Amino acid sequence: MSSPCGLTALTGASIVFANEVAHDRALVLDGARIVGTAAPGELPEGCTVRDLVGGWLLPGFIDTQVNGGGDVLFNDMPNVEGIRAIAEAHRRYGTTGLLPTLISDYAPVVEAAIAAGEAALTEGVPGVLGIHIEGPHLNPVKKGIHDAGRFSTLDAKMIATLAAPTKGRRIVTLAPELAPQGAVRAMAEAGVLVCAGHSLADYDQTREALAEGLCGFTHLFNAMTPLQSREPGMVGAALEDRASLFGLIVDGLHVHPATLRVALLARGIEGAMLVTDAMPPVGGHRDRFTLMGQEIVVANGTCRGPDGTLAGSALTMAQALRNAMDMLGLDIVAASRMASGNPARFLRLEQETGSIAPGLRADLVHLDAAYHVTATWIGGDHAEHRE
């Protein structure tokens, strides 16, 4: 219930800002927006006080690659109901902003997913920032768990579909070496966030795509040309570039933690975003699901196809944050930037969300002393959780 003055103060937790942690401060909210901080004894008169009883108050997590959650796969439910279920499942783990991600599929499914994303944005489904179309314009040699039978050539019609105006943000992952000349530039100029992934592009081809407007790399190291002594590959181009950002799946399974640490030393944390690449079991009840006709089994924290191929992950953003601290040696400020501030900047939403600052939307997550989620706020709307 709102207070007479319309303000709410969150007290009792250490507040994680972009560059520091503040103790013994209260965060003051005015509805959907952050007002600022105050000493607990200097709160506005009549302000409603919510005592968080310790722990950490962070900007809500932003995940740019979410294939599913709550036992729902976006490909199977490319509609508002599917998007809502996925967003609700991930909110329990601190994700207050996400892009439901469509794995390579036929053109009608891509079109349905885009329409569903626009409808979800129009309806204001909590946490939905847009959608991510990962494929089907990928390289079959680096297909991973994707169904190469659904891959297709990126033609003018599909470019127009992907570049159509959106109320939110749209990410498109493609193999730049297979994209027709000018395609990356055309989509980038239309506001699409074009990422490279599932690709055999070499260093030079990747640099050319960056020059045309490529701005990101989907799950760095996985399904792309590696950094080698005489061929820097896509990984080398990603680590060298200072304008783009890359997603990292920090589960200790997709990429060795030492490799991730080296990537951060080369690029700095400003170039990295935590992503989950999550599948339906996150926030769900089943330990197996079907993906493009293949049974995917969840075991020992992994999602794998019949031949052992990794099929996304069972990772949550809360666990990714903890892993970033435990496996990569980051403090909570740096890990928080990779989970919130950097993806907001990548999405060009840093003036709206992704950090705790006056005027920004009150998208927040409260973690207990062990860094487990207890509550979230999306635009000031509060929900309790038990991770």
Domain residues of the chain, as ranges?
7-58+354-384, 61-346
Q: Give the annotated binding-site residues.
A: 134, 145, 198, 219, 222-223, 230, 254, 310-312
Q: Do the beta carbons of residue 254 and residue 313 sit within 8 Å?
A: yes
Query: In a 10 Å sphere around its CB, with 0-12 CB exposed, 13-18 middle and 19+ buried, how is residue 138 labelled?
Result: buried
d(CA 310, CA 263): 21
The predicted model scores a pTM of 0.97
The annotation places the binding site for substrate at 145, 222-223, 230, 254, 310-312
CATH architecture, domain 7-58+354-384: Roll (2.30)
Contact 193, 166 (CB under 8 A): no
Nearest to 317 by CA among 99, 45, 140, 146: 99
277 is catalytic: yes
Confidence of residue 2 (pLDDT cuts 50, 70, 90): very low
**Proportion of the chain above pLDDT 90, given as a percent:** 96
Q: Is residue 5 over pLDDT 70?
A: no
Residues of the binding site for Zn(2+): 134, 198, 219
Phi, psi (degrees; rounded to nearest 5) at 240: -80, -35
Q: Which residue among 63, 251, 277, 363 is the active-site one?
A: 277
When pLDDT is cut at 50, 70 and 90, the band that residue 40 belongs to is confident
What tens digit of pLDDT does each residue of 243-293 get? 999 999 999 999 999 999 999 999 999 999 999 999 999 999 999 999 999
Tokens 């924290």 appear where?
A: 301
Q: Do domains 7-58+354-384 and 61-346 have the same CATH topology?
A: no
To the question of domain 61-346 being in CATH 3.40.800.20, the answer is no
**pLDDT tens per residue, range 118-173:** 999 999 999 999 999 999 999 999 999 999 999 999 999 999 999 999 999 999 99
